[in-house]
Chain A
Amino acid sequence: NAGVTQTPKFQVLKTGQSMTLQCAQDMNHNSMYWYRQDPGMGLRLIYYSASEGTTDKGEVPNGYNVSRLNKREFSLRLESAAPSQTSVYFCASTAPLRGDYEQYFGPGTRLTVT
């Protein structure tokens, strides 16, 4: 199993550009999450999807949209990137319905907005 995969690994955007971060998991997990990690602030939840077909806002959703494309894939979209969105983005998945609360993280996408 590849676990959780994310693309791209690195991205540089200009202010106002848009992009979509892709995430996929092959562990048959129901729940998927997007976090951002900034220095000194730990990880903050942007959006999550408890199951296929549902999405909910997390702690810092402004400026982002998500799509749970199917059970495997959960994408994060920045419609108009801002320098404040410079961060490392992590996708995670878990299987709470199976009693497995561990969140498995992908390797991250390092995004710079100039």
Chain B
Amino acid sequence: GENVEQHPSTLSVQEGDSAVIKCTYSDSASNYFPWYKQELGKGPQLIIDIRSNVGEKKDQRIAVTLNKTAKHFSLHITETQPEDSAVYFCAASKHNDMRFGAGTRLTVKP
């Protein structure tokens, strides 16, 4: 089955700096790659996603890149703010089977 690895497990940045989280996947048939943000005590919420036919997608301060050949994808957050502090999960999916990375705890220090 699909295996998703996510790095780093924790990340601390200064407000205004950029943050990058990386994921690799094993199943070349995976075709949908979402990123979720989870705040304490809440369910994960989608922040950006990318399909396998696209290499890059951007939404304001958030961007995702996908390298299908190398089977890795990354989340980039620019101009970080304290409210970006949360746990971020990547996932890789085909059909109804979505596999998640172990998560990255991002802390943005004011």
Q: Which residues of A contact B (CB under 8 A)?
A: 4, 31, 33, 40-45, 48, 50, 56, 58-59, 90, 92, 96, 101-108
Annotate B30-54 by CB proximity to A: 1 below 8 A, 0 otherwise: 0010101000011111100100000
B59-98 CB contacts (< 8 Å) to partner A = 89, 93, 96-98
A102 touches B49 (CB 8 A): yes
Residues of B within 8 A of A48 (CB): 96-97
Looking at the complex, which one of B42, B49, B89, B97 makes contact with A43 (CB distance below 8 Å)?
B89
A58 to B1, CA, bound (A): 10
- The interface centre, meaning the residue of A42, A96, A106 with most chain B CB atoms within 10 A of its CB, is A42
Looking at the complex, which one of A4, A56, A59 makes contact with B96 (CB distance below 8 Å)?
A56
B32 touches A90 (CB 8 A): no
Count residues on chain B whose CB falls below 8 Å from chain A CBs: 24
Residues of B within 8 A of A96 (CB): 96
Helix, strand, loop or mixed for chain B's interface? strand
A101 touches B32 (CB 8 A): yes
Q: Which residues of B contact A (CB under 8 A)?
A: 1, 4, 6, 9, 32, 34, 36, 41-46, 49, 89, 93, 96-103
CB distance from A89 to the nearest CB of B (A): 10
Pairs A–B under 8 Å by Cβ, sample size 20: A4-B43, A40-B102, A42-B6, A42-B100, A42-B101, A43-B44, A43-B100, A50-B96, A56-B96, A58-B97, A59-B1, A92-B43, A101-B34, A101-B93, A102-B46, A102-B49, A103-B98, A105-B44, A107-B42, A107-B43
